[in-house]
Amino acid sequence: MSHLWDIVPFEGFDTDSWRREFTTSIEMVRNSFWYAHHQKKSRARMVEADPYALTEALGSFDASLLASILLHCRRPFDMLQSVAARTRRTVIVTEQYNPALGNDALCGLLPHRGAEPQVHTWWQFTPQFFISALGLLGFTQVQLNFHVQRQPASQRDVHMFTVVCERPATT
């Protein structure tokens, strides 16, 4: 909670006020996790760490899931690399899909001057960005899926993609 979010640094934006309001919202999300964790008798562990520098002390994981998180990060490749270093077999990335970005390995900066300052989202990505990035990190077997997720709060459908990248099996 001390880091909380990579906020887009709009000049003149009241970051402190936004952070106070957002902290209240994110605490409710965290409480809902713990409520569901208790109700379902989950054995999942929560680890709080610097996601840009996950340490060996955390151990390694068979699979890692980054679900609509990298668009909120100042340095998405650094976070992807940090997670991949702790992952033995599979990295799964799900993000919003914008077909206007094309088929190249791209990430586009989303915020800009002249628009209502939104400080919580940095990037839009193509699926090929993650296929290429994870390929560099040794996850070369790829599955790509496109899907639509309902966003009830906004009463809209959101077009998404999911990239599942695996390290090749060792013989």
Per domain, the residue ranges of the chain are 14-46, 49-166
- Fold exhibited by the domain 49-166: Rossmann fold (3.40.50)
Q: How many CA atoms lie within 13 A of 66 on its CB side?
A: 26
C-alpha–C-alpha distance, residues 81 and 160, integer Å: 22
Query: pLDDT of 19-74, one tens digit each?
Result: 888 888 889 988 999 999 999 999 988 888 888 999 999 999 999 999 999 999 99
* Sheet strands side by side (includes 156-166): 61-67, 87-96, 156-166, 141-151
Per-residue pLDDT of 67-107, as tens digits, reads 999 999 999 999 999 999 999 999 999 999 999 999 999 99
By C-alpha distance, which of 47, 122, 124 is closest to 86? 47
Query: Is residue 121 packed enough to be buried (19+ CB in 10 Å), middle (13-18) or exposed (0-12)?
Result: middle
Predicted local confidence at residue 53, as pLDDT: 92
pTM, to two decimals? 0.88
